[in-house]
């Protein structure tokens, strides 16, 4: 195992992923929950006709919104962005912005935060990071935890506001203190890297654990990594594997890859090449370059499986391309391994490998 396989220290942050922006659909006004559940989660799949129930629910929501109900305006905007069965064209985003703005103008904090994200992402409006940050601050000042998280992230990255890690931490803490798991993760990462606060692994561990115990996969991976490295806690491979498994069971690709490593090396679990390959494949199928490389090497060496040059070529090619396009992984190492396999193959085998890769891409779309 290379040292950076599990690295979380500054300088190798690529294996740690910050959460995406908090999405408004995670918090639906209580009195509209039943109505929006139908629209957001029970709408027909693309190409199917909407049911009479769905049409009635949408009409009810629009009626309330047109009467000036701020929660309904927010919910209607949310449906333009999130409802299944619609292609979400630019016009949908324009309508979403229009209804978010109506609710925001009435002081609806969630709508303000959602409007801020629309500006930051350039959906339905020209992208404007400054205007996005302005709306996020309005929502954050009203106590909206998702907006506090996203405003903190804006300060951390210097998006729409001057970069200010200490201010980022201040907003993360506000959201973390009310149980926002994404803010808890970001606060843990701030302490882990000494960004905006003095580096403090014990404090990083505390915040990772809070989010991890709430079931947040990214925090579970980070907590497992601390146990694996013995940073801030006694080194414990079994505990690391336990947290990786919790996240891997949620189909987190990074956790799947790291759980594969634990089985390949017998760290905290019995060594099991077949189980290692199983978890690597899960991560590889999600586009993880590190895992794709491992799968390719396993097939090339016949480690626990029959040697298969075609499979090795395919996975090493995928790893090389993924590393090149994402910046994650060692493109040169992967390309060199791919070239060594290529030299041993016939033209027919290479063609078969390329065809398999094309089929893999088709299944991912």
Distance of CA 84 to the CA centre of its chain: 20
d(CA 75, CA 58) in angstroms, rounded, equals 10
* Helices and strands of the chain, counted as H and E runs: 18, 0
130 Cβ neighbours under 8 A, 6+ residues apart: 160, 161
Average pLDDT over residues 243-271: 96
Give the pLDDT band of residue 31 (cuts 50, 70, 90). Answer: low
Spatial distance between the Cα atoms of 358 and 287, rounded to a whole number of angstroms: 14
Contact between 83 and 43 (Cβ < 8 Å): yes
To which H or E segment does residue 156 belong?
Answer: helix 145-157
Element (H, E) at 73: helix 70-82
| pLDDT-derived band at 84, boundaries 50, 70, 90 | low
Mean pLDDT calculated for residue range 305-317: 94
3-state helix, strand, coil split of the chain in percent (to 5) is 70, 0, 30
pLDDT in tens, 216-241: 999 999 999 999 999 889 999 999 99
State yes or no: pLDDT of 163 exceeds 70: yes
* Confidence grade of residue 310 (pLDDT, cut at 50, 70, 90): very high
CA 222, 250, 275: angle at the middle one, nearest 5? Answer: 85
Q: Which tokens is 97 given?
A: 């912005």
Q: Of 19-33, 97-111, 126-140, which range is least confident?
A: 19-33
Half-sphere exposure of 212 (CA within 13 A, CB side): 26
Model pLDDT, residue 330: 93
Sign for the CA dihedral angle at 56, 62, 66, 68 comes to: positive
Contact 248, 256 (CB under 8 A): yes
pLDDT tens digits, residue range 67-79? Answer: 999 999 998 898 8
| 21-25, 34-38, 240-244: the lowest-pLDDT one | 21-25
| Alpha-carbon distances, residue 141 vs 75, 171, 180, 283, 302 (angstroms) | 21, 10, 16, 40, 58
- Overall average pLDDT of the 135-160 stretch: 95
pLDDT above 50: residue 39: no
| Of 154, 163, 158, residue with least CA distance to 135 | 154
Residue length of the chain = 365
Top-ranked range on mean pLDDT: pick from 19-23, 56-60, 70-74, 79-83? 70-74
337, HSE (Cβ side, Cα atoms, 13 Å)? 26
pTM: 0.80
Cβ-based burial of 149 (10 A; exposed 0-12, middle 13-18, buried ≥19): buried
Residue 29: per-residue pLDDT = 53
Query: Rounded CA gap, 321 and 331, in Å?
Result: 8
Q: Which among 104, 106, 139, 146 is positioned nearest to 125, based on CA atoms?
A: 104
């Amino acid at each position: 195992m290379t040292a950076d396989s599990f690295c979380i220290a500054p300088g190798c942050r690529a294996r740690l992923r910050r959460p995406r922006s908090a999405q408004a659909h995670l918090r639906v006004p209580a009195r509209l929950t039943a109505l929006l559940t139908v629209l957001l989660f029970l709408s027909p799949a693309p190409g199917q006709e909407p049911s009479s129930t769905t049409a009635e629910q949408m009409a009810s929501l629009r009626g309330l919104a047109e009467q000036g109900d701020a929660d309904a305006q927010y919910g209607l905007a949310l449906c333009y962005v999130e409802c299944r069965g619609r292609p979400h064209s630019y016009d949908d985003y324009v309508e979403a912005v229009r209804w978010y703005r109506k609710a925001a103008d009435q002081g609806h904090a969630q709508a303000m935060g959602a409007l801020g994200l629309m500006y930051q992402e350039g959906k339905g409006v020209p992208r404007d990071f400054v205007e996005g940050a302005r709306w996020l601050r309005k929502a954050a000042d009203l106590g909206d935890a998702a907006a506090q998280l996203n405003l903190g992230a804006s300060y951390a990255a210097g998006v729409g506001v001057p970069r200010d890690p200490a201010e980022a931490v201040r907003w993360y803490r506000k959201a973390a203190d009310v149980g926002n798991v994404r803010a808890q993760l970001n606060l843990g990462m701030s302490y882990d890297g000494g960004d905006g606060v003095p580096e403090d692994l014990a404090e990083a561990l505390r915040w990772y654990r809070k989010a991890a115990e709430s079931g947040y996969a990214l925090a579970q991976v980070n907590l497992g990594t601390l146990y694996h490295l013995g940073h801030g806690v006694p080194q414990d491979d079994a505990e690391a594997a336990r947290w990786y498994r919790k996240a891997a069971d949620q189909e987190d690709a990074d956790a799947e890859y790291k759980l594969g490593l634990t089985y390949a090396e017998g760290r905290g679990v019995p060594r099991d090449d077949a189980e290692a390959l199983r978890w690597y494949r899960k991560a590889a199928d999600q586009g993880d370059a590190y895992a794709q490389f491992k799968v390719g090497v396993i097939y090339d060496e016949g480690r626990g499986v029959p040697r298969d040059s075609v499979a090795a070529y395919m996975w090493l090619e995928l790893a090389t391309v993924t590393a090149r396009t994402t910046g994650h992984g060692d493109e040169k190492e992967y390309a060199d391994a791919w070239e060594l396999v290529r030299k041993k193959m016939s033209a027919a085998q290479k063609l078969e490998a390329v065809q398999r890769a094309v089929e893999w891409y088709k299944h991912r779309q």
